[in-house]
A and B are shown apart, each in its own frame.
Chain A
Amino acid sequence: DVKVTQSSRYLVKRTGEKVFLECVQDMDHENMFWYRQDPGLGLRLIYFSYDVKMKEKGDIPEGYSVSREKKERFSLILESASTNQTSMYLCASALRGGSAFFGQGTRLTVV
């Protein structure tokens, strides 16, 4: 069974803080993704990575960066958190040519 694990279920951070969201998958998937989920907007792609050290911008990359130093781990970084980044963040992974599997999500609140 595919396992995609996000390091935190809930996070509360202050405006201006640097925030790290971590995601680990155990199925040797090449591709990993970060989405944010907001009511009525569905899931929107922030960044994705198709290999170690490779990254591509998604639809809403502004205010975010990512890091993929190892195949199994994909980190989302908020350089300076703002209140409009309060959201549910979902990590996903997929084999090249396969279906995407999601982590359980991290609900981030920026105060």
Chain B
Amino acid sequence: GENVEQHPSTLSVQEGDSAVIKCTYSDSASNYFPWYKQELGKRPQLIIDIRSNVGEKKDQRIAVTLNKTAKHFSLHITETQPEDSAVYFCAASKDNAGNMLTFGGGTRLMVKP
């Protein structure tokens, strides 16, 4: 089955700096890669996703890149703000949609003011 590894497990940055979280996946058939943000005590919320026919996608301060050959994808957050502090999860699925997701272990991002 699919295996998704996520690094780092914790990340501390200064407000205004950039943050990068990386994930690798094992199944070359995976074709949908969402990122979820989970604030303390709240539900995971989808923040951005990318499909395998696209190499990069951007939404304001967040962007995701995908390297299918290397089987890795990354989340980039620029100009970080304290409200970006949360646990971020990457995931992968083979059905080109948010079903049957395999999640990474999560990254706790702390943005220091």
* Count of chain B residues near A, Cβ 8 A: 26
Q: Which candidate, B13-21, B65-73, B95-103, is the interface stretch facing chain A?
A: B95-103
Q: Which candidate, A11-19, A63-71, A72-80, A97-105, is the interface stretch facing chain B?
A: A97-105
Q: What chain A residues lie within 8 Å of B85 (beta carbons)?
A: none
Known: A48-B100, A94-B97. A40 touches B1 (CB 8 A): no
Q: What chain B residues lie within 8 Å of A44 (beta carbons)?
A: 103
- Give chain A's interface residue range (CB within 8 Å of chain B): 20 to 34
**0/1 per residue, A37-48, Cβ < 8 Å to B?**
000111111001
Whether A31 contacts B43 by the Cβ 8 Å rule is: no
Among candidates B44, B96, B101, residue contacting A97 with C-beta atoms closer than 8 Å? B96
Whether A40 contacts B49 by the Cβ 8 Å rule is: no
Whether B43 contacts A42 by the Cβ 8 Å rule is: no
Known: A102-B44, A103-B43. A40 touches B97 (CB 8 A): no
Query: How distant is the Cα of A41 from the Cα of B9 in the complex, in angstroms?
Result: 10
**Nearest CB on A from B52, distance (A):** 15
On A, residues with C-beta under 8 Å from B are 4, 31, 33, 35, 40-45, 48, 50, 59, 90, 92, 94, 96-105
